Chain A
Amino acid sequence: MKNLTEKVKKNPIWKSIFRRDYRNNVRDRALAIFGNVFLHLHPVQVRESAVKLRFTWGMGGITFFSFILLVITGVVLMFYYHPSIEQAYSDIKDLEFQVPYGVILRNMHRWAAHFMVIVVMIHMFRVFMTGSYKAPRQFNWGIGVILLVLTFLLSFTGYLTPWDQLGFWAITVGTNMGAATPLLGYQGPFSEYLHITPYNDIRFALLGGAQVGANALLRSYIWHCVAIPLISIILMFVHFWRVRKDGGISRPQK
Chain B
Amino acid sequence: MNPFIEIITQPDNIAIVIMIIMVTFFMGWAFLQAYQNDKLKAAGLPVEGENDRDVDTFKPLVRIELIITLAVMVGLTIWSIAVNAPLEEIANPTITPNPAKAPWYFLGLQELLVYFDPWLAGVVLPTLIVVGLIAIPYIDINPKGNGYYTFEERKYAILIFSFGFFILWLLLIVIGVFFRGPGWLWYWPWQEWDHQRVVFEPTRDLTSLVGIDSRSLAGFIIGALVVGGYFVAGMAAPYRYWKKNNPELLAQLGMVRYVTIMFLFISMMSIPIKMILRLVFLIKYVWITPWFNV
A91 to nearest B CB, angstroms?
11
Instruction: Check if B87 sits within 8 Å of A96, measured CB to CB.
Output: yes
Note all chain B residues with C-beta closer than 8 A to A251.
49-50, 52, 147-148
B148→A130 contact, CB < 8 A? yes
Q: What 1/0 mask marks residues of chain B from 18 to 50 whose CB sits below 8 Å from any chain A CB? A: 110011001101100110000000000011111
The answer on a CB contact under 8 Å between B26 and A125 is yes
Measured CB to CB, the closest approach of chain B to A203, in angstroms, equals 11
Residues of chain B touching chain A, judged by Cβ–Cβ distance below 8 Å, are 12, 15, 18-19, 22-23, 26-27, 29-30, 33-34, 46-62, 64-65, 68-69, 72-73, 76-77, 79-81, 83-93, 95-97, 100-106, 109-110, 117-119, 121-124, 130, 133-134, 136-138, 140, 143-150, 154, 158, 161, 165, 291-292
Which listed residue, B18, B58, B104, touches A39 by the CB 8 Å rule?
B58
A110 and B85 contact, CB distance less than 8 A = yes
Q: Name the CB-closest residue of B to A192.
A: B291
User: Most chain-B CB neighbours within 10 Å: which of A54, A129, A211?
Assistant: A129
A residues lining the B interface (CB < 8 Å): 26, 29-30, 32-33, 39, 42-55, 57-58, 61-62, 65-66, 69, 85, 89, 92-93, 96, 103-104, 106-112, 114-115, 117-119, 121-122, 125-126, 128-135, 137-138, 141-142, 145-146, 148-149, 152, 155-156, 159, 162-170, 172-174, 176-182, 185, 187-190, 211-212, 250-254
Q: Are B118 and A176 in contact (CB under 8 A)?
A: yes
Q: Is there an interface contact between B88 and A166, defined as CB atoms closer than 8 Å?
A: yes
Please classify the interface of chain A as helix (H, G, I), strand (E, B), loop, or mixed, using the class held by over half of its residues.
Answer: helix
Assuming the contacts A93-B87, A134-B143, A141-B137, asked whether A43 and B57 have C-beta atoms less than 8 A apart, the reply is yes
Q: Are B103 and A174 in contact (CB under 8 A)?
A: yes
Contact B106 A152 (CB under 8 A): yes
* Residue among B26, B88, B103 with max Cβ neighbours from chain A (10 Å): B103
A69 to B79, CA, bound (A): 14
| B30 engages A212 (CB within 8 Å) | no
Contacts of A57 in B (CB 8 A): 26, 29
- Check if A163 sits within 8 Å of B110, measured CB to CB: no
The answer to whether A138 and B137 touch across the interface, beta carbons within 8 angstroms, is: yes
User: Looking at the complex, which one of A32, A65, A131, A142 makes contact with B147 (CB distance below 8 Å)?
Assistant: A131
A176 to chain B, nearest CB (A): 7
* Residue in A61, A145, A169 whose beta carbon sits within 8 Å of that of B65 in the complex: A61
- Identify A103's interface contact among B84, B86, B97, B148, CB under 8 A: B84
With a CB–CB cut-off of 8 A, which chain B residues contact A118?
Answer: 15, 18-19, 22-23
A61 to B124, CA, bound (A): 32
Contact assessment for A29 and B149 in the assembled complex, using a CB-CB cutoff below 8 Å: no
**A30 and B56 within 8 A (CB):** yes
- Residues on the B chain within 8 Å of A110, using CB: 85
B15 contacts A47, C-beta separation under 8 Å = no
Q: Say yes or no: B15 contacts A115, CB within 8 Å.
A: yes
* Most-contacted residue by chain A among B55, B90, B143, B291 (CB, 10 A): B90
Name the one of B91, B119, B158 contacting A164, with C-beta atoms under 8 angstroms: B91
**A187–B271 Cα gap in the complex (Å)?**
22
A145 in contact with B130 (CB, 8 Å): yes
